[in-house]
Amino acid sequence: MSPIRLVYGKACHLPVEIENKALWAVREINIEFERARAERKMKLQELENLLLEAYDNSRLYKGKMKAVHDKHIKWREFKPGESVLLYNSRLRLMSGKLRSRWEGPYRVEKAEPHGVFHLSHPSSSKFIKVNGHRLKPYHGEQMKKSKELEIFLVEDPPTAED
């Protein structure tokens, strides 16, 4: 009975004579089997060292890229009670180019570490949990409180007849 071998993922029956000749050829080529084994083991160790070095280089690269990224982040701090506007990046219903993507005003209820804020809308009792990068201060209430109003009258320029 010939043993079944897998060749390129397919079952293959090899006659015993061919298998024995193949084993004999392998032994003839590798006369110094122990030396070949030690050499193969050394190559595998070198491959593992290269893999570990690649992991270290990847870790260093990611650390440098994180430092560059973090340097450009603008941290925003809001205190509870402040009014803010929320950026809506999913606004796709109205395709108007000039439509504002900022919603609000919302009120900051709670600030958590790492830039997470809990917001409430004046017309709703639900809280929204958002990232601080999607917020900007709302100055509308301060402008409404200011009652001073300056009026500039624009007159027609004088003509040559005047």
Strongest mean pLDDT among 5-19, 41-55, 133-147: 41-55
Residue 162 lies in a domain: no
Is pLDDT larger for residue 120 or for residue 37?
A: 120
When divided into structural domains, the chain yields a total of 2
Residue 139 lies in a domain: yes
Rg of the chain's alpha carbons, rounded to an integer? 37
How many C-beta neighbours within 10 Å does residue 137 have?
13
Predicted model pTM: 0.45
Q: Which two tokens stand for residue 49?
A: 């060292």
C-beta separation of 12 from 5 below 8 A: yes
Question: What single-letter amino acid sits at 7?
Answer: V
Residue 158 lies in a domain: no
